A and B are shown apart, each in its own frame.
Chain A
Amino acid sequence: MNRFAALLDALLFTPSRNGKLRLMREYFSSARDPERGWALAALTGELVFDEAKPSQVRALAAARVDPELLAWSYDFVGDLAETVSLIWPAAPGGARHVPSLSEIVGKLKEASRSEVPRLLEPWLDALDATGRWALLKLVTRELRIGVSARLAKTALAEWSGVELDRIEEIWHGLAPPYQPLFDWLEGRHPPPEIGDLPTFTPLMLAQPLEDADLAGLDPRDYLAEWKWDGIRVQLVARGSERRLYSRSGDDIGAAFPDIIAAMPADLTLDGELLVVRDGEVAPFNDLQQRLNRKTPTPKLQRDFPAAVRLYDILREGSEDLRGRAFAERRRRLEAWYAREPRPALDLSPMVPFTSWDELAELRDGARQRGIEGLMLKRADSLYVSGRPKGPWFKWKRGALTLDTVLMYAQRGHGKRSSFYSDYTFGAWHGDELVPVGKAYSGFTDEELRRLDLWVRNNTVRRWGPVREVSPQIVLEVAFDSVHRSTRHRSGVAMRFPRIHRIRWDKPFREADSVETLERLLT
Chain B
Amino acid sequence: MSLSPPLPETWIKTTPSGLYCEPGGFHIDPLLPVPRAIVTHGHGDHARPGNERVLATPGTIAIMQSRYGELAGGSLQPLDYGEAIAIDGVGVRLLPAGHVLGSAQILLDYRGARVVVSGDYKRRADPTCAPFEPCNCDLFITEATFGLPVFRHPPDRLEIDKLLHSLSLFPERCHVVGVYALGKCQRVLALLRRAGYEGPIYLHGALIGLTELYESLGVPLGPVLPWAEATREALRGRIVLAPPAATTDRWSRRLPDPLVAMASGWMRVRQRAKARGVELPLVISDHADWDELTATVDEVAAEEVWVTHGREEALVHYATKQGHRARALAIPGFEEDE
Contact = CB atoms under 8 A, between A and B. Distances in A.
Most buried by B among A15, A66, A86, A133: A86
Interface stretch (A74-82, A150-158, A488-496): A74-82
Nearest to B253: A418
Q: Which 10 A-B pairs have the closest CB atoms?
A: A86-B150, A417-B277, A417-B248, A73-B150, A87-B149, A87-B150, A73-B148, A72-B314, A418-B252, A13-B279
A89 B290 CA distance: 11
19 contacts: A13-B274, A13-B278, A22-B169, A69-B317, A72-B311, A73-B148, A73-B314, A76-B269, A77-B271, A79-B271, A82-B271, A86-B149, A86-B151, A89-B149, A129-B154, A133-B270, A413-B277, A417-B248, A417-B277
B252 A77 contact: no
Nearest to A26: B169
Contacts of A73: 148-150, 314
| B150, B271, B311: most-surrounded residue (chain A CB, <10 A) | B150
Given A86-B150, A418-B250, A14 B279 contact: yes
A469 to B, nearest CB: 17
Interface in A179-198: none
Interface of B: 148-152, 154, 169-170, 248-253, 257, 260, 268-271, 273-275, 277-281, 311, 313-314, 317-318, 321
B273 A76 contact: no
Q: Which of B149, B280, B281 has the most CB of A within 10 A?
A: B149
Contact of B170 (A19, A128, A418): A19
B281 A13 contact: yes
Nearest to A84: B150
A167 B313 CA distance: 55
A432 interface: no
A332 interface: no
Q: Main SS of the interface on chain A? A: helix
Interface of A: 12-15, 19, 22-23, 26, 65-66, 68-69, 72-73, 76-79, 82-83, 86-87, 89, 128-129, 133, 411, 413-415, 417-418, 464-465
A464 B260 CA distance: 18
Contacts of A22: 169-170
B152 A129 contact: yes
A25 to B, nearest CB: 10
B260 to A, nearest CB: 7
Given A86-B268, A417-B248, A69 B149 contact: yes
Contacts of A464: 275
A69 B279 contact: no
B271 A15 contact: no
Contacts of B273: 13
B284 to A, nearest CB: 15
Contacts of A19: 170, 279
A418 B271 contact: no
Contacts of B149: 65, 69, 73, 86-87, 89
A239 B234 CA distance: 62
Nearest to B321: A66
A69 B170 contact: no
A69 B318 contact: yes
Contact of A69 (B248, B252, B257, B314): B314
A14 B260 CA distance: 10
Given A65-B149, A72-B313, A129-B154, A417 B260 contact: yes
A133 B170 CA distance: 25
A17 to B, nearest CB: 13
A65 B290 CA distance: 13
Contacts of A133: 270
Given A69-B314, A69-B317, A77 B279 contact: no
